[in-house]
Amino acid sequence: MAKNSKLTGNMLIAQSGGPTVVINQSLIGAVLEAKKHKEIKKIYGSLHGILGILNENFIDLGKESKATLEAVANTPSSALGSVRKKPTPEDCAKIFQVMQKYDVRYFFYIGGNDSAETTHIINEEARKAGYEFRCFHICKTIDNDLRENDHTPGFGSGAKFVASAFMGDNLDNRALPGVKINVVMGRHAGFLTAASALARVYPDDGPHLVYLPERPFDMDRFLADVKTVNEKYGRCVVAVSEGISDAEGTAIAAKFTKEVDAHGNVQLSGSGALGDLLADQVKAKLQIKRVRADTFGYLQRSFPGVVSAVDAKEARLAGQAAVKFANGGKFANGSTAIKRKPGKSYRTWIERTELKNVAKETRHMPDEFINAEGNNVTAAFIRYAAPIVGPLPPVGRFKGVKVKKIG
Amino acid sequence: MAKNSKLTGNMLIAQSGGPTVVINQSLIGAVLEAKKHKEIKKIYGSLHGILGILNENFIDLGKESKATLEAVANTPSSALGSVRKKPTPEDCAKIFQVMQKYDVRYFFYIGGNDSAETTHIINEEARKAGYEFRCFHICKTIDNDLRENDHTPGFGSGAKFVASAFMGDNLDNRALPGVKINVVMGRHAGFLTAASALARVYPDDGPHLVYLPERPFDMDRFLADVKTVNEKYGRCVVAVSEGISDAEGTAIAAKFTKEVDAHGNVQLSGSGALGDLLADQVKAKLQIKRVRADTFGYLQRSFPGVVSAVDAKEARLAGQAAVKFANGGKFANGSTAIKRKPGKSYRTWIERTELKNVAKETRHMPDEFINAEGNNVTAAFIRYAAPIVGPLPPVGRFKGVKVKKIG
């Protein structure tokens, strides 16, 4: 395919879907890169994704100082605001009116697979309308479930939060033994829940059991697993994905909520119902006295200061790469995908991929990352995830020389 | 009172109640100080508090390396294990048998007010039995509710976690507006919930409302408050203590649980019921669509890496001070209390106080820390808490120059 010609005009960038602690790295990476391209004139930021385009609610990112841009890059959540809105055909028509009116020739949308779908729809409409512009999706999601990507910006930091939380919670559970169930984000993909396993330092450390959406969840099997671990260690720490589903594919949590978003997803986060249900089952069926459940909730994607350095760097690079691809690259549209060299040493780069390859469908945990019993992760997963997450806080333990009892 | 004579014998130390991220600082502070006192021979650590004494389940802390001791000091949760057990008179008789058998002449118990009460009972029994020993409680609790203390070890780090969590969650809520309710630990004292207010950087930042156990919680009043804030900002972040109670003093959360611990406390943590209840009320009564609740749970007291440097230092000093008080001080027993110089500059020191002054009853938020409406904290609270918590992660925000709409 012929090299894409240079195109002069304004740029519009927006953020969509669930925020992460590094999504602003991608935003600022794109803005700083755009400033180097003389073809890109104004740099508009749309507030709250496509909602801001429909309402022509833009801010001028060219008027922000370098210091502010860097401060925002290191701030969690979506600085431009986010949205969960699927555009209708009427919305798309309106979006192009706005694009033309503001001479927007470069459009960048940072988000997950739903956002990639939105970008894809906008691009298709533009193509049909014969509107010449560059349209790129910038990969992002703590769920780590985008196809074409080895992993996604946001996952490393979310995973670092989850692993750190389990590290502390395992120590808490060791001090006051019982059964502790922690519910982790992840609708269809178990990567974030699996990251809990990175918390293990000593052989008896939790999480002792890990339940993922990739395997059907069976309550009796779960209770038997907890019983076995509790008998072995006198305690049990469990990681459960919010998206665990029964053999028919019905989310266990969905039995307790009716709320759905614009993309038809049932609301799973922001409620403690699943954790409480599982804790009640353990109490009632196993007669274990001390049973607690925590639902990590939105902290997983927004906690300031708990950031994977690798994740922050890659998020920045993804934003930069999108602008490079858009201006003078081979293609007028696409998505950024993180690729990784196979083998022991960690090396990654950003490639351009087709929008349709990333949109709609999600990626799941490969079989090699899940144990045969479906209640834990494998060493292959640890090798995969550890370099993305980076070092965790060091923890120590007494040698614990027993004092001989006096008879 | 005459200066306490030197007493030769072994030392026993234990941890009790809810763990914190700095409770091991106090443990290691005491152990390292004890090593300097020639009167103190063996240094025993009892596993799981008084349960370990009753079962003679000790480890020899004199056999731990300096490196291990320092690693443990920087590790969250109670390295010796913890317990929630109130000793019976029979337990106390057994405890002295064990003390005598192991020639324990120095006993240190790290914990909150329930643990201070236990220490007080043990000391009274020892006094009655004519058993000569030194018996000190070392202050600890993330609830910050010990009398005689300006603040307690564990609070600063717990507060740092809560403030950081609200900082991120406020940004998340700003990106995807709605009502967000976060439930924070604190049975009778609202200090930890109040610390959420430290998250505020910009005038419109949340938490916009703060509900504490010190003021009766009224559902209609709460709903009216949320409505007002939501109309003003288009969103609302709420901090709620798990211990909020109605005008009759019944905990709102207690209406959903029957579990009580050995000290007669209803179990409030480890369940999402209170947050879900409040969220359901907001959805139903205010017709607000996006309403979420998170319960921070055990992460608040165990999350590694989120530590207040001031808190860690003071926790270490409290452990050291207890041993100094015990050997050659004026008194044979007591508790460590953190005192603070009034005024702008932050200066603290550890004083010895009577066990009975710390035991049983708890301290509450003073009136000057709570606003007249009972739904927020005052500037006086911020001045009080900020130096204990220390610096929070910096966050930035766009200047946000609006792009003029094209007509």
Query: Residues B68-106: pLDDT tens digits?
Result: 999 999 999 999 999 998 888 889 889 989 999 999 999
A366 in contact with B, Cβ within 8 Å: no
Cα–Cα distance measured from residue A395 to residue A406, given in angstroms and rounded to the nearest whole number: 32
pTM above 0.90, yes or no: yes
B143 catalytic residue (yes or no):
yes
Q: Which of B363, B341, B350, B84 is nearest to B214 (CA)?
A: B363
Region B126-154 average pLDDT: 94
Cα–Cα distance measured from residue A194 to residue A366, given in angstroms and rounded to the nearest whole number: 12
Q: Name the B residues in 10-29 with CB < 8 Å from any A CB.
A: 15, 18-19, 21
A302 in contact with B, Cβ within 8 Å: yes
Cα–Cα distance measured from residue B180 to residue B173, given in angstroms and rounded to the nearest whole number: 7
Our CA-based measurement puts residue A209 at a distance from the nearest CA of chain B, in whole angstroms, of: 18
* A75 to B18: CB separation less than 8 angstroms, yes or no: no
Q: Which of B81, B82, B76 is nearest to B308 (CA)?
A: B76
Cα–Cα distance measured from residue B381 to residue B205, given in angstroms and rounded to the nearest whole number: 17
- Total count of residues recorded for chain B: 407
Out of A101, A271, A402, the one facing B59 most closely (by C-beta) is A402
* B406 to A78: CB separation less than 8 angstroms, yes or no: no
Q: For residue A99, what is the nearest residue in chain B, using CA coordinates?
A: B406
**H/E element, B13:** strand B9-15
Q: Which of A125, A116, A118, A137 is nearest to A96 (CA)?
A: A125
State the pLDDT at residue B1. 42
State the pLDDT at residue B135. 95
State the pLDDT at residue B263. 60
Q: Name the A residues in 172-211 with CB < 8 Å from any B CB.
A: 172, 174-176, 180
A343 in contact with B, Cβ within 8 Å: no
Please classify residue B208 by burial: count the beta carbons closer than 10 Å to its beta carbon, then call 0-12 exposed, 13-18 middle and 19+ buried.
Answer: buried
Cα–Cα distance measured from residue A363 to residue A291, given in angstroms and rounded to the nearest whole number: 33
B74 in contact with A, Cβ within 8 Å: yes
* B396 to A68: CB separation less than 8 angstroms, yes or no: yes
Q: Which residues of chain A have pLDDT under 50?
A: 1-2
Domains of chain B: 9-153+306-358 (3.40.50.450), 159-303+364-389 (3.40.50.460)
**Residue labelled with tokens 């070092």:** A391
State the pLDDT at residue B2. 46
- Non-local (6+) Cβ contacts of B236 within 8 A are B179, B180, B206, B208, B209, B226, B229, B230
**Residues of chain B neighbouring A19 (CB-CB closer than 8 A):** 171-172, 175-176
Using CA atoms in the order B98, B100, B102, B105, what is the torsion angle rounded to 10 degrees? 120
3-state secondary structure (DSSP) of residue A167: helix
Q: Which of B33, B29, B17, B40 is nearest to B311 (CA)?
A: B29
**What is the distance, to the nearest Å, from the Cα of residue B157 to the centroid of all Cα atoms in its chain?**
9
State the pLDDT at residue A12. 98
- Non-local (6+) Cβ contacts of A155 within 8 A are A141, A142, A143, A144, A191, A192, A311, A388
* B398 to A59: CB separation less than 8 angstroms, yes or no: yes
Q: Work out the mean pLDDT of chain B and round it to a whole number.
A: 93
Predicted complex: ipTM over 0.90: yes
3-state secondary structure (DSSP) of residue A172: helix
Using CA atoms in the order B210, B160, B14, B62, what is the torsion angle rounded to 10 degrees? 180
List B114, B143, B169, B311, catalytic entry: B143
**Residues of chain A neighbouring B394 (CB-CB closer than 8 A):** 71, 74-75
A272 in contact with B, Cβ within 8 Å: yes
| Number of CB atoms found within 10 A of residue A348's CB | 17
- Non-local (6+) Cβ contacts of A122 within 8 A are A50, A87, A92, A95, A107, A109, A135
Residue B144 pLDDT > 60, yes or no?
yes
* Backbone phi, psi, residue A44, to 5°: -95, 140
* A172 to B301: CB separation less than 8 angstroms, yes or no: yes
Residue B286 pLDDT > 70, yes or no?
yes
**What is the distance, to the nearest Å, from the Cα of residue B146 to the centroid of all Cα atoms in its chain?**
9
- Six token digits for residue B62: 């004199």
B234 in contact with A, Cβ within 8 Å: no
- Non-local (6+) Cβ contacts of B319 within 8 A are B25, B26, B27, B28, B29, B30, B31, B33, B108, B110, B138
Buried-exposed string B161-198: b where 16+ CB fall within 10 A, e elsewhere: bbbbbbbbbbbbbbbbbbbbbbbbbbbbbbbbbbbbbb
**Residue labelled with tokens 């060219």:** A62
State the pLDDT at residue A3. 54
B83 in contact with A, Cβ within 8 Å: yes
A129 in contact with B, Cβ within 8 Å: no
List A91, A114, A143, A145, catalytic entry: A143
A142 in contact with B, Cβ within 8 Å: no
**Residue labelled with tokens 């007591």:** B334
**Residue B46 forms beta bridges with which residues?**
B58
**What is the distance, to the nearest Å, from the Cα of residue B278 to the centroid of all Cα atoms in its chain?**
25
**Residue A334 forms beta bridges with which residues?**
A136
B276 in contact with A, Cβ within 8 Å: yes
**Residues of chain A neighbouring B272 (CB-CB closer than 8 A):** 271-273, 275-276, 293, 295
3-state secondary structure (DSSP) of residue B389: helix
Q: Which of B15, B101, B322 is nearest to A398 (CA)?
A: B15
Our CA-based measurement puts residue B341 at a distance from the nearest CA of chain A, in whole angstroms, of: 31
A404 in contact with B, Cβ within 8 Å: no
Distances (CA, A) of B184 to A68, A234, B84, B144: 32, 28, 21, 13
- Six token digits for residue A40: 């890109």
**Residues of chain A neighbouring B58 (CB-CB closer than 8 A):** 402-403
**H/E element, B127:** helix B113-129
Angle between helices A89-101 and A113-129 (to 10 degrees): 70
Q: Which of B186, B111, B118, B119 is nearest to B149 (CA)?
A: B111
- Six token digits for residue A339: 């690729």
Cα–Cα distance measured from residue B187 to residue B203, given in angstroms and rounded to the nearest whole number: 29
Cα–Cα distance measured from residue A393 to residue A168, given in angstroms and rounded to the nearest whole number: 10
- Six token digits for residue B73: 């000091």
Interface test with B, best of A171, A205, A301 (most B CBs within 10 A): A171
Residue B261 pLDDT > 60, yes or no?
no
Beta strands in A117-223 (DSSP E): 134-139, 179-184, 209-211
State the pLDDT at residue B398. 98
* B396 to A71: CB separation less than 8 angstroms, yes or no: yes
CB–CB contacts below 8 A, A to B:
259
Cα–Cα distance measured from residue A320 to residue A311, given in angstroms and rounded to the nearest whole number: 14
* A402 to B164: CB separation less than 8 angstroms, yes or no: no
Q: How confident is residue B308, by pLDDT bands cut at 50, 70 and 90?
A: very high
